[in-house]
Amino acid sequence: MLRFQVLGRLSVTSELSDCTPTAPMARRVLAQLLLRANNVVMLDAIIDELWGDKPPKSAVPTAQTYIYQLRRQFEPWVAKDRVEDVLATCGAGYMLRVAPDRLDLAAFLRLTKHGRTALDAGDAATAGRLLRQALSLWSGPPLADVTAGPSIRAHVVQLTEQRAHAVELRIQADAMLGRHRELVGELKAILLADPLNEWYHAQLIKALASSGRRNESLIAYQHLRRTLSTELGLEPSDVLRELHQEVLAGRDSWSDWAVSGRP
């Protein structure tokens, strides 16, 4: 059976064989079909993805040719006479049928959902395990080696946000389990890439204070305050100012690490 990956480089494999299409336009069509796996993608949407508002006169037969090429690519790894069931024609569109356990995106969404459910139920250990499994499916930016048109770009933005949220949930689970010292280094690294993210600053301040490093926690707040003032002319949010006061007062642990309570 074929296995598909979009959370990184586009990949299609069967056991030890790599059967990823190499033709750039066929890859774009495959990427669009995978992002909408088990749903119909209209031919008009494929044409818009490939050529935007300036399609060639031959757009329809050319797009159909890419579908034909994908079917031929899959033939050696699909049961006899089943390739058109896997990549099916559905009226004026096409559907790529993929079992949930054969597409990394589907597995990521499922694991993240279950992880969030466990976290909401107070089971931080299960949540952390599921969210780590979900995040381990990523090997880089989604569809990193596929030229993206408007549809794929929109999905990439959405997937990037979903991954970021999964990271936040996993950090919340680790914090609830008391893994504050382990979180400090990770949070510092994240903030090097995203220095204006107040939620991550709040988690770093909490993690430092909970690790017995109140002085560093207060320094982290002052660093954030200077950064916001210099870069944006802003003061920290009310949530962060309250957090600062709590650290000053000597509070060194928090039970409310909720992502929903972002500054």
Output the tens digit of pLDDT for each of the chain's 263 residues.
889 999 999 999 988 789 999 999 999 999 999 999 999 999 999 999 999 989 999 999 999 999 999 999 988 888 767 888 899 999 999 999 999 899 999 999 999 999 999 999 999 999 999 999 999 999 999 999 999 999 999 999 999 999 999 999 999 999 999 999 999 999 999 999 999 999 999 999 999 999 999 999 999 999 999 999 999 999 999 999 999 999 999 887 766 666 544 43
Residue 106: predicted pLDDT:
97
Burial 165-174 (b: 16+ CB within 10 A, else e): ebbbbbbbbb
CATH number at residue 207: 1.25.40.10
CA distance 260 to 78: 44
Is residue 162 domain-resident?
no
Is residue 133 domain-resident?
no
Range of the domain at 200: 181-263
Helix (H) or strand (E) holding 209: helix 198-210
Together in a domain, 97 and 9? yes
Is residue 151 domain-resident?
no
Q: Of the residues 84, 101, 118, which one is the last residue of a structural domain?
A: 101
CATH number at residue 25: 1.10.10.10
Is residue 190 domain-resident?
yes
| Number of independent structural domains in the chain | 2
The answer to whether residues 239 and 206 touch, using CB atoms and an 8 Å cutoff, is no
Burial category of 58 from C-beta neighbours within 10 Å (exposed 0-12, middle 13-18, buried 19 and up): exposed
Residue 15: predicted pLDDT:
80
Grouping H, G, I as helix, E, B as strand and the rest as coil, residue 12 is strand
CA distance 14 to 77: 7
Q: Of the residues 101, 126, 141, which one is the last residue of a structural domain?
A: 101
CA distance 235 to 225: 6
**Residue among 200, 207, 209, 206 nearest 259 (CA):** 200
Is residue 211 domain-resident?
yes
Half-sphere exposure of 65 (CA within 13 A, CB side): 8
Is residue 134 domain-resident?
no
Q: Of the residues 41, 67, 101, which one is the last residue of a structural domain?
A: 101
Residue 254: predicted pLDDT:
65
CA distance 169 to 131: 8
Is residue 216 domain-resident?
yes
Is residue 106 domain-resident?
no
Grouping H, G, I as helix, E, B as strand and the rest as coil, residue 37 is coil
Residue 252: predicted pLDDT:
76
Return the structure tokens found at 188: 């510092």
